[in-house]
Structure 1
């Protein structure tokens, strides 16, 4: 383990542009912005209900319905092939059949990427990842469970750029945000905080920032010239905050004050991964003893043992997310563990697959189950449905969601005949809600 330089800062001064939703910042000049070929469609390809069939309904006596939310890219990005989406779509999801039925789409958010859904308040938090904005934002929406629509609550600036992750602490009182950051780390004219916490207002909106930090350092790869926080979440006991920083090959650990929402570097403030790993997403095993991080650049998953007393990690195992004979380019992306803790899955963009592993409950070690084609290009994100019987994969560059059956015994994935067409899908979230009349 090694210590990272974590510098607490106060919120950005009023001299820094703080309102990207009020006045859009100018785009980066052609000399500083990478060129790319992007095609932007005026309409996303979203499946709509077949009006020859009945509207979605629940079985008699059922008191719960399941909704699926899908965010999409709707603004040009230099590192995306295209941005064919419109906003955040809401679907009725049938857990028995795996069928999606379109309900509504919220189009008012710029490039809604990662989302977090508070299952208690039904507030949806969506980050806006917009190239050229000096400061990112998180937008809060209230989900109407009966209508399947989203109502705008508020937006909050995030003290840093390219906002890529948001989550809530276990009390639901505070939001935690990670900023990937596109600006140069020595540019003191721009907000440079990579992690920050915000209070959740009574209406579910976010208040002014409470605490924030910048991370120093870099890694050996060309994409690691500065800090790039990509994930932030509290530990299951709400005592620590874990941050995966792709740019500096570290997991940063903060102590979290659940009363005030403040973060402070832990006594051992970081855990170092192999140089050039590029940690992207992280997940705790349901038992709490083990944790796993997927490395975007190295295309690996690292199994860790977590000490909940002091917030430290011990490396147990490193496995590749790719087949041994694959030699092409790849960026690993998303990571999820089955609710029963028996299986873990990671997505590969390049190999375009989902890697499945079984988890040894005693040692935390992983054993390969297999690789399943995502049946599309760049599976950026995926989700296991609430029943655990299906997986839905967002194929970013194929404008599609693909649906797989999950074998409850082996954890293997089997493609179904179902597919949902939707422009540049980026994040999929499920939420069970009370059915109308229940």
Structure 2
């Protein structure tokens, strides 16, 4: 975490356009200051852009990537920004048009050699090689999916929602909400084998949304949006093996809810998930040795649709973005239990989608 005194920096991606699921009112990418002692947020600058919803930071903190989440007829793409981690200044290096429609997720491997973009509407995953400047260097390799799920409103076809390079760099894992599957493809010299290597099946209608690897790299956490559950799979064998599953909602809750962002605590001991509908943050303890997930509790965000969460790099705060009420709420984290406490600090950000510390 880059700091000047007690000031760290973060960037927030937003929706700027009216969409079927949100009336986007943001202006682009917001750079915020963050007081690491109190959790207070302050605005630094705004990089104007069209629907820069999801962002990813390179491991060397020199590049920031942002998707342009629009329909295929309106010019979807991914932008590469040069980042000054000391000041938070962003300079556009490259804008790459992307095939397909509504790219909703972007990730970059630790070597800053591969970029993965997930198209929600049309279902493809795009694999880009990056040049020495961290910019897409050639046309993408496309992974196309087929199929559907039992939820006619949400699973009419493939909907790629998240793709990550595995810590051992041997595979890419893809969560497809539309067909209830997390699939794995082999990765060799930066090229993806288009044949599926293995499938981690979900319960019918569960809708996998986001993936997170544990710190050891031996387990994969999968956030299922439509069933509001989290599963943990062991990856230390030839085939991934389901070892734990947990609901993100209180037992007596009967309303409609869907999960949002999922984030790992820097200690690796806790995982946090946003509940959109219940409008809360759920926390669970991770025990990799035992292969278990144990609920810690849920905390009200007091704002509609907590789209994304982010834990500060020192593990002392959690930020929850209320997409539809337009603010970020800051919680403190108990380092022993993982439990949250409201700091009383909020900061207005219209239509916030993704939070990334820089």
Shorter-chain TM-score category?
Answer: over 0.9
Change (3 A) 1:210 1:128: closer
Matching residue of 1:281: 210
Instruction: Look up the SS of the partner of 1:405 in the other structure.
Output: strand
Equivalent residue runs for 1:27-426 within 5 Å: 58-59=4-5, 66-80=8-22, 82-107=23-48, 109-131=49-71, 133=73, 136-182=76-122, 194-222=124-152, 223-257=154-188, 259=189, 261-265=190-194, 268-307=197-236, 310=238, 312-426=239-353
5+ residue gaps, structure 1, are 1-56, 183-192, 432-438
The answer to whether the 8 A contact 2:185-2:194 is kept is yes
Cα distance in 2 between the residues matched to 1:303 and 1:135: 37
Cα distance in 1 between the residues matched to 2:353 and 2:137: 26
The answer to whether the 8 A contact 1:249-1:277 is kept is yes
After TM superposition, the score normalised by the length of structure 2 is 0.94
Deviations 1:94-127 (A, max 9, x none): 21221222211001x2101110011415211001
How far apart are residue 237 of structure 1 and its match? 0.9
The answer to whether the 8 A contact 1:126-1:140 is kept is yes
Cα distance in 2 between the residues matched to 1:406 and 1:123: 29
Change (3 A) 1:68 1:168: same
**Could you say which structure has the larger radius of gyration?**
1
Cα distance in 1 between the residues matched to 2:194 and 2:142: 11
User: Would you say how many aligned residue pairs link Structure 1 and Structure 2?
Assistant: 356
Deviations 1:148-169 (A, max 9, x none): 2211111112222110111112
How far apart are residue 424 of structure 1 and its match? 1.0
How far apart are residue 202 of structure 1 and its match? 2.5
| Worse-superposed segment, 291-300 or 89-98 | 89-98
Cα distance in 1 between the residues matched to 2:267 and 2:86: 30
The answer to whether the 8 A contact 2:209-2:224 is kept is yes
Change (3 A) 1:90 1:325: same
The answer to whether the 8 A contact 2:165-2:173 is kept is yes
5+ residue gaps, structure 2, are none
Instruction: Look up the SS of the partner of 1:133 in the other structure.
Output: helix
Cα distance in 2 between the residues matched to 1:399 and 1:67: 19
How far apart are residue 210 of structure 1 and its match? 3.9
How far apart are residue 133 of structure 1 and its match? 3.2
What's the RMSD between the two structures over aligned residues?
1.9
Cα distance in 2 between the residues matched to 1:322 and 1:166: 27
Deviations 1:33-88 (A, max 9, x none): xxxxxxxxxxxxxxxxxxxxxxxx833xx9xx6211011111110111x2111000
